[in-house]
Amino acid sequence: MRHPIEIENIDELRLQEGIDDAELREDVHRLRVGDHVRLTFVNAGNPCARETLVVRITSLKGETVRGKLAGQPTRADLAMLRAGSPVIFTRDQIHSIVKRQPTLERMKDEG
């Protein structure tokens, strides 16, 4: 039997540990379509089977975010996840934000 894959609520876990990452929450609310974030995926049948993966955002509506996996998991327990798979998650599940790389166009604007 296959177990469902869940996305860890990292904000809740941080608060339980007394960590209040206000800066991350602010950055999360500034996200745009095309940005990349990290989410931690967990196999519900084996909570030790977890991996943090990059997801490209395709839609933002309120607290609901849609995206697509940017890569493959390395853990066999999460092998059902594939690059390009759609993912629906909430802002409080975002582990971290992948920093934007400077583009030639942006560098011209700033220079």
Maximum separation of any 2 CA atoms in the chain, in Å:
56
92 and 24 in contact (C-beta within 8 Å)? no
pTM across the whole model: 0.82
Report percent pLDDT > 70 for the chain. 87
Contact 42, 10 (CB under 8 A): no
Predicted pLDDT at 111 = 52
Confirm if 35 and 27 have CB atoms less than 8 A apart: no
Closest-CA residue to 85 (of 70, 65, 63): 70
Query: All domains of the chain, ordered by start, with CATH?
Result: 5-110 (2.30.30)
pLDDT in tens, 44-92: 888 888 999 999 999 999 989 999 999 999 998 888 899 999 999 999 9
Tell me what the mean pLDDT of segment 1-22 comes to: 83
pLDDT at 108 over 60: no
Predicted local confidence at residue 95, as pLDDT: 92
